[in-house]
Structure 1
Amino acid sequence: MLQYPLWRRIVVIGLVLLGLSAAIPNLFYPRVELHNDAAAAIEQFGSTPEREADLSAWPTWMPSSLVNLGLDLRGGAHLLAEVRVEDVYEHRLDALWPEVRDALRDERDAVGAIQRLDAPGGELRVRIENPAGMGQALAAVRELASPVVTLTGMGANDIEVAGQDDVITVQLSEAERVATDDRTIQQSLEIIRRRVDEVGTREPTIQRQGERRILIQVPGLGSADELKALIGTTAQLTFQPVVTRTTDPSTRPAPRQELLPSLDEEGVFYVLEQTPVVTGEELTNAQPSFDQNGRPAVSFQFNVTGARKFGAYTAANVGAPFAIVLDGEVISAPRINEPIPGGSGIITGNFTVEDSTNLAVLLRAGALPAEMTFLEERTIGPELGADSIEAGRIASLVAFAGVLIFMALAYGRFGLMANLALILNVGLVFGLLSAIGATLTLPGIAGIVLTIGMAVDANVLVFERIREEVRAGRGPARAIELGYEKALSAIIDANITTFITAVILFLMGSGPVKGFAVTLALGIITSVFTAIYITRLMIVFWFERRRPKTIEV
């Protein structure tokens, strides 16, 4: 008798039902999409009769996750942008000039008068009147250096200072340039993501490519020009006085006050003065650093106008909280411990290095840190996406039909069971894609078509082994058990090598290659599961009911 424990039967059937339930919403894509959009709008903006009607398009107790359609299937806009990180180097050194000037003025007796000279981008040059005081001048400027902060800790200083004759040259160190490049790209990604998400587009692809490039793909958007205009807008960053902190979202603020949610603290709201003290337009720099106790923090710096307003406010409000607001959300509300003159300060808290790095990115997310050059732009119409879907559907059906016919002719009853398992396999693939929120592209469809062809490989190995055992004179039950036991190692070996290939494609590839790798990897997992467990369970049910004396495969 075939051994298949009851608990294993329950687990296999349960997993199949779970996977199919996750895949079912894709059969009613427009209705479920309408339901999901209405649910998101109600959560963000509140309920209306129209939104409630759209929400009822799909039962709330049913799974509602969908396989997102990529740009080549839905249509939309595609941009490849290159970030001019050199702009950031210039801005950093421009912001450093007042500090260099003040440091050299403190050494006026030794260096004499000072004058800033024109210099190539990425350099700050200062002429001193008395070359004999060069040593003291260099020492004073070098005291302005700070350690470069990365996720691995502190490294070299952020500036390099050199002197020749009567000219001092200041530039960013190589370590600081690398860290600045990374921060600039991360900041640009964050800004673009916030800008694109505001228009409610579905599953945009915004990712870094190489050292200085960003790929932006937004399904459903009308044109590449529309996307460029969207990215070019500026996020609103403000520094506002805090009136009170509350967990009641129905709190009614007084006139000239507003109620805003906290970004990181769920269910927490702040009542703020509506008029900001300073805005992000007056912020010149924000970067991760460490406080006097060696704990991660964030340092920031305003321009002259912002520094004057910020210094006056902090001097008059020591001990009061001060909210940093980005796009209508409070990202931080530190307490003012002491007056902050000079336009620079530090935000401390219970931060990790990663937290301080992310907060520094958010602080600068009010505007793109550097100019972006668009190297590639494309607009894909919905009709092209519809053609791609139709081509993918036809390819899948042809592959599906060919495999079903071959298995039925080659293995008879056992082939029909494998065919049923293959149908379940495709359903499980879509269930997994829906569950993880994956985006399906045309290469992803190719991965599914390839999976259909590969899905029966394991069943073929098993059935051929069963044939060999029947020819050797084994009884039906023993032949089936030995067939699965002897084919298992070959099945595992063959699929592990293919799975490793899919993982490498995912890690090393980008865009379409990743989409292909995801569907291929998920297809391998479901194929092995259906061959080893589902097909075997079908054979066990058939055998227990029929009790055949002989079998033909």
Structure 2
Amino acid sequence: MAKARTRGARALIWLGVLIVGLVGANFAAVSFDQDGSASWTPQLALDLEGGTQIVLEPRLAEGASISQEQLEQAVAIIRQRVDASGISETEITTQGGRNIVVALPGEPDAQTMQRIQASAKMEFRPVLASAPANPPGSTPAPVETDPAAEPTAEPENAWDQAWITPALQSEFSAFMCSDVDPTEIADPEQPLITCSSDGTARFILGPVAVDGSSIADASVSAATNSQGQATGGWGVNLELSGEGPANFEAVTRAITGLPEPTNQFAVVLDAAVLMPITSNAIITDGNAQITGGFSQEGAQSLADQLRFGALPVSFQVQSNETISPTLGANQLQAGLIAGLIGLLLVVAYSVLQYRALGVVVIFSLAVAAVLSYLVVTFLSSTEGYRLSLAGIAGLVISIGITADSFIVYFERIRDELREGKHLTTALETGWKRAFRTILVSDAVSFLAAVILFLLSVGNVRGFAYTLGITTFIDIIVVALFTHPLLRVLARTKFFSNGHPLSGLDPKALGAVYTGRARFREPVLAGKGATSAKQAQLRQTIAERKAAAATTGKES
């Protein structure tokens, strides 16, 4: 018995350590926050706080149109881009069968805005020539050309130097980086004069050699050399699919070993060169690593752009405006009131049904609420999670899940007491049997939450997210608080002697064993009971089975 009480106290200590750890994690998230997004309260989603609405319009050639399939694919890719920035509860919809509306909660940071607005079709083009950018304000004179000197040979491939005609060279010499038009749709079968995204270099690029839609995945890892040894930097790993591997092999086979800059090909997004890549080896399997003195953040940013940059068509920002909450404070208040009513009903039922055990329910629900709040706040500060009305609904439903665990546990203990066992024995036996049932029940709820999260989008994912979190917390509360607390309370006279208000009175429960080796007679209808209904209520499970068997034989 003393050992059980010690185990109970130890579990309560571990629960205290967990709560202190979560408080410390939230304190660290707020103290070391650099963008001002972390706080001691959860961030609210678009339906409760409002945010920013961006309308994207497709950039199409004259007379062209966008299909519904292309529009849906673009929505999926933009959603991936936004999710990569850590912002949840984002609403991305179509408008008029043409535009895409992106509604972000709160005020998104510059990096998120850049990911959304950089929505052009990504391309890989060979570098035919490069030069430093012309200084701002300068007026370089174009090179005079003789039309008769124009070459008559047609370029054979995307990296053929025959693309650089005297006229193109003259245009390149006079080109200013301020002339780059991100709304211009470049012909994929013609060369392109453009600048780097930072405006420090000019390029003549050949036609598109590898389309961005061929990128299956892009990830970040430590940079390695040709022998597979780490070089101390960071690299971006590319995985190509479809026609990508064959096209990539053709480019790298042709330009590897050429003098700079013709041994490079450029990643082009929104008519600007993200970076020129030097080909150091022939890539035959569609898997390559891009290196170049990246920091981890820089490599991750490029990987995100490569992975989510291959839109089927290009888009431009048509409008960018702040929007008000779609539901507002009234709906939030109504949701909280509904949760409070549900909580009060659970508490009232627990007190009426379990007497003093209802106090254990109240304290357990309070601990569950504290843990849920700390976890949601921490995820909000570190992972960008935002609490929506659907998420609040998940928290409210968790009250029922937690109460269900208490009922299973308490009823199991009371069944053991009806069998004549002492409270401490009934507590341990009932816990072993009840915990298996609680684990199965919570596992089903958690699995449902996971499936719902993976297969849904928008606010529904917020509901699944909080439901999954609180289901897991339910197990922690029951194992580290409810059961250990009952272990401690079982040592008090109030509970161990079965006080009528304890909720564990053997007489009120109709226990077979009444103490001091005295056993009552099994209660059957018509034998000492005023009615069959009262007899049934006082019977143990074993007595009910025996009565049912007797009735069956008599019939």
The C-alpha deviation readout for 1:358-388, integer Å capped at 9, x for no partner, is 97983697896526699xx998624833223
Percent identity of paired positions between Structure 1 and Structure 2: 24
Match of 1:420 among 363, 367, 384: 363
Query: In structure 2, what residue type is equivalent to 1:388?
Result: Q
TM-score (normalised: structure 2): 0.51
Quick one: distance in 2 between partners of 1:488 and 1:475? 19
1:517 aligns with 2:464: yes
Native 8 Å contact 1:426 1:452 kept in 2: no
1:362 aligns with 2:305: yes
1:448 aligns with 2:442: no
Q: What's the offset of the Cα at 1:419?
A: 1.1
- Runs (5+) with no aligned partner, structure 1: 42-53, 59-63, 92-118, 123-177, 244-255, 257-269, 302-306, 339-345
Query: In structure 1, what residue type is equivalent to 2:375?
Result: L
Give the corresponding residue for 1:474: 421
The C-alpha deviation readout for 1:471-507, integer Å capped at 9, x for no partner, is 3332221122222223233323333333333333223
Give the corresponding residue for 1:217: 103
Q: What's the offset of the Cα at 1:536?
A: 1.0
Match of 1:532 among 454, 472, 479: 479
Give the corresponding residue for 2:22: 22
The C-alpha deviation readout for 1:121-148, integer Å capped at 9, x for no partner, is 99xxxxxxxxxxxxxxxxxxxxxxxxxx
Query: In structure 1, what residue type is equivalent to 2:51?
Result: G
Native 8 Å contact 1:77 1:219 kept in 2: yes
Greater gyration radius: 2
The C-alpha deviation readout for 1:365-423, integer Å capped at 9, x for no partner, is 7896526699xx99862483322322222222222222223323332332211210111
Native 8 Å contact 2:388 2:459 kept in 1: yes
Native 8 Å contact 1:65 1:434 kept in 2: yes
Native 8 Å contact 1:77 1:218 kept in 2: yes
Quick one: distance in 1 between partners of 2:10 and 2:280? 61
Native 8 Å contact 1:447 1:517 kept in 2: yes
Native 8 Å contact 1:22 1:65 kept in 2: no
Q: How many residues align?
A: 382
The C-alpha deviation readout for 1:114-172, integer Å capped at 9, x for no partner, is xxxxx9999xxxxxxxxxxxxxxxxxxxxxxxxxxxxxxxxxxxxxxxxxxxxxxxxxx
Match of 2:344 among 378, 401, 417: 401
1:350 aligns with 2:278: no
Q: Structure 1 stretch 486-495 or stretch 417-426: which is displaced more?
A: 486-495
Query: In structure 2, what residue type is equivalent to 1:500?
Result: L
Quick one: distance in 2 between partners of 1:364 and 1:509? 22
Quick one: distance in 2 between partners of 1:505 and 1:418? 29
Quick one: distance in 1 between partners of 2:481 and 2:202? 63
SS at match of 1:510: coil
Query: In structure 2, what residue type is equivalent to 1:22?
Result: L
Quick one: distance in 2 between partners of 1:464 and 1:70? 40
C-alpha change, 1:319 and 1:524, in structure 2 (3 Å) is same
SS at match of 2:440: helix
1:40 aligns with 2:34: yes
Q: 1:109-128 to 2 correspondence within 5 Å?
A: none
Native 8 Å contact 1:475 1:550 kept in 2: no
1:459 aligns with 2:415: no
Higher RCO by CA contacts (8 Å cutoff, separation 6 or greater): 2
Query: In structure 2, what residue type is equivalent to 1:274?
Result: T
C-alpha change, 1:369 and 1:485, in structure 2 (3 Å) is closer
- Runs (5+) with no aligned partner, structure 2: 133-175, 177-195, 217-237, 292-298, 504-555
C-alpha change, 1:190 and 1:518, in structure 2 (3 Å) is closer
C-alpha change, 1:509 and 1:73, in structure 2 (3 Å) is same
Query: In structure 1, what residue type is equivalent to 2:353?
Result: A
Native 8 Å contact 2:361 2:403 kept in 1: yes
SS at match of 2:340: helix
Native 8 Å contact 1:78 1:216 kept in 2: yes
Q: 1:138-153 to 2 correspondence within 5 Å?
A: none
C-alpha change, 1:278 and 1:362, in structure 2 (3 Å) is farther
Q: What's the offset of the Cα at 1:518?
A: 1.8
Native 8 Å contact 1:25 1:65 kept in 2: no
Native 8 Å contact 2:130 2:204 kept in 1: no
CA RMSD of aligned residues (A): 6.1
Give the corresponding residue for 1:69: 44
Native 8 Å contact 1:422 1:452 kept in 2: yes
